[in-house]
């Protein structure tokens, strides 16, 4: 039926076998603090996500443009001598960028502004020691407030074995206690939920800034694998492809109200897919 030319919602059984209206709702590609170029086509029954499809066709990068946050590691993969301190500072800025978007979606606009300012200062050359102090202050603010811990605990949880199976790497894998590359900072929680992921970003931001402070004139080794801010680079699959896979797994069965928070806690970079030819 199309009363007045408008289609009615279809019906289908929900996860409990009850017949409910089915709605198809897009998230993105234009939302505040949303991954650029990403659209999620959601299938809803009531306010529960029953299914979703990922659409990255709205992202259009110029030819030969690398994902900005991966530039130091791609330079190293190409044979350039990249200072350890430079890459570490870039990593810290990338984590602060992710944290800023996450805090904005979580409703802490003040914390988001602080994280964004620290990101800009990291890129502009602020001393690593000074940035470490400011990041520690931000961390105390977030932890002592306790509200962020409460609203993100258990949200978007992914188990360690499953994180490995879908090829997560980097902070998202370590936040699930799945190992992966550099040692997991001792302050990280490893519970695999949104709460663990923002704690992981803070812990690895401090780790990166300490590395920037201690790096001196050393350059990145050309041996072994390179890990960018979101995971291992130079393999057959971009790190953000696995992050999108994790989003698909953790959103199904969740209420629409927490969908953006879960996406922000993984923070995929669609530009990674474009440079890997996976868009």
Structural domain includes residue 186:
yes
Q: Are 259 and 157 found together in one domain?
A: yes
Q: Are 42 and 141 found together in one domain?
A: no
Structural domain includes residue 192:
yes
pLDDT-derived band at 186 (thresholds 50, 70, 90) equals low
Q: Are 24 and 150 found together in one domain?
A: no
Q: Are 167 and 43 found together in one domain?
A: no
Structural domain includes residue 177:
yes
Structural domain includes residue 27:
yes
pLDDT-derived band at 8 (thresholds 50, 70, 90) equals very low
Structural domain includes residue 61:
no
Q: Are 193 and 104 found together in one domain?
A: yes
Domain span at residue 139 reads 68-275
* Each residue's pLDDT tens digit, 11-66: 555 555 556 678 999 999 989 999 999 999 999 998 999 999 999 887 665 544 56
Q: Are 74 and 200 found together in one domain?
A: yes
Q: Are 39 and 76 found together in one domain?
A: no
pLDDT at residue 236, rounded to an integer = 78
Q: Are 149 and 15 found together in one domain?
A: no
**Which is it for the CA torsion 187, 189, 194, 197, positive or negative?**
positive
Q: Are 217 and 271 found together in one domain?
A: yes
pLDDT at residue 1, rounded to an integer = 44
pTM given for the model = 0.88
* Each residue's pLDDT tens digit, 123-155: 999 999 999 999 999 999 999 988 999 999 999
pLDDT-derived band at 275 (thresholds 50, 70, 90) equals low
Q: How many domains does the chain have?
A: 2
pLDDT-derived band at 6 (thresholds 50, 70, 90) equals very low
Q: Are 88 and 48 found together in one domain?
A: no
pLDDT at residue 189, rounded to an integer = 82
Q: Are 109 and 228 found together in one domain?
A: yes
Report, as an integer, the average pLDDT of 75-95: 94
Structural domain includes residue 62:
no
* Each residue's pLDDT tens digit, 228-266: 999 999 877 899 999 999 999 999 999 999 999 999 999
Q: Are 97 and 17 found together in one domain?
A: no
């Amino acid at each position: 039926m199309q009363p007045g030319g408008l289609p009615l919602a279809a019906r289908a059984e929900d996860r409990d076998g009850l017949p409910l209206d089915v709605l198809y709702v897009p998230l993105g590609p234009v939302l505040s603090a949303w991954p650029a170029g990403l659209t999620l086509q959601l299938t809803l029954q009531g306010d529960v996500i029953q299914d979703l499809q990922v659409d990255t066709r709205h992202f259009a990068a110029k030819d030969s443009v690398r994902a900005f946050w991966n530039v130091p590691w791609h330079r190293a993969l190409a044979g350039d001598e990249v200072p350890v301190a430079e890459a570490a500072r870039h990593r810290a800025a990338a984590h602060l960028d992710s944290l800023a978007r996450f805090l904005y979606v979580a409703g802490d606009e003040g914390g988001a502004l602080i994280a964004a300012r620290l990101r800009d200062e990291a890129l502009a050359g602020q001393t690593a020691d000074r940035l470490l102090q400011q990041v520690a202050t931000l961390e105390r603010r977030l932890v002592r407030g306790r509200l962020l811990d409460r609203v993100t605990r258990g949200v978007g949880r992914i188990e360690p074995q499953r994180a490995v199976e879908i090829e997560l790497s980097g902070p998202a894998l370590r936040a699930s206690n799945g190992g992966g590359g550099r040692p997991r900072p001792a302050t990280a929680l490893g519970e695999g939920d949104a709460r663990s992921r923002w704690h992981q970003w803070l812990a690895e931001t401090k780790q990166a800034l300490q590395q920037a402070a201690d790096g001196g004139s050393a350059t990145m080794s050309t041996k072994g694998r390179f890990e960018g801010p979101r995971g291992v680079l130079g393999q057959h699959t971009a790190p953000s492809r696995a992050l999108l896979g994790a989003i698909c797994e953790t959103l199904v069965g969740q209420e629409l109200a927490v969908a953006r928070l879960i996406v922000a806690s993984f923070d995929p970079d669609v530009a990674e897919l474009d440079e890997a030819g996976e868009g």
